[in-house]
Amino acid sequence: MKWTGPVWLLLALSVALLSECSIKPGNRASSPSASHADSALAPGAAGGSAGGASEANGGAAEPSGPADVAAAVATLRDYYAAIAAHDYARAWSLWGDGGASSHQSFDEFQRGFAGTASVHADVGDPGPVEGAAGSRYIEIPVEIRARTVAGEDQHFRGHYVLRRVVVDGATAAQRRWHIDSAAIATVH
């Protein structure tokens, strides 16, 4: 299909707006495990416009339904299960681009949990799956309770944005849900 006139302009403006709001650094807390929670998880949320029957960039659209949403939620639960098990390599790998979307090296990510004795996350009801530029996005709220090795209780609240690629030629790893960004803040 050839895009012309106002449709092409609207599409170009939408892509430009999405690229401007996709990832923005967030605030960081000061305590050891809060520092990790806020620094590793606080880049601003990525988002997109509602997905349609085909992607604007010519990629193949994939259906999104209850199983797709459940897979995204399972990814986030797996992330916190890995953290609770102190399996930071697995947790870091659930971030996009092999952990790079966390905006931390693996060593920084792991050190961020040095003061964390335990963590538990309550995953809330996810928002709708949205599509943009060959990807699917979903925002999932979370409430986190952690305990430091010093016995201090911590409480965080926010959301994650998970992403998966749906274009032809994407690898199996790109097609799986991964954490794209997060906005997590300390609850006082």
Q: pLDDT tens for residues 85-95? A: 999 999 999 99
Q: pLDDT tens for residues 160-171? A: 999 999 999 999
User: Measured between alpha carbons, how far is 188 from 175 in angstroms, rounded to an integer?
Assistant: 37
Q: Which domain holds residue 142?
A: 5-186
User: Measured between alpha carbons, how far is 155 from 125 in angstroms, rounded to an integer?
Assistant: 19
Hey, CA dihedral for 106, 74, 59, 57, is it positive or negative? negative
Whole-prediction pTM value? 0.69
Total number of domains constituting the chain: 1
Q: 153: buried, middle or exposed (CB in 10 Å: 19+, 13-18, 0-12)?
A: exposed
Give the CATH number of the domain where residue 175 resides.
Answer: 3.10.450.50
Q: pLDDT tens for residues 1-49? A: 333 333 333 333 333 333 333 333 333 232 223 333 333 333 233 333 3
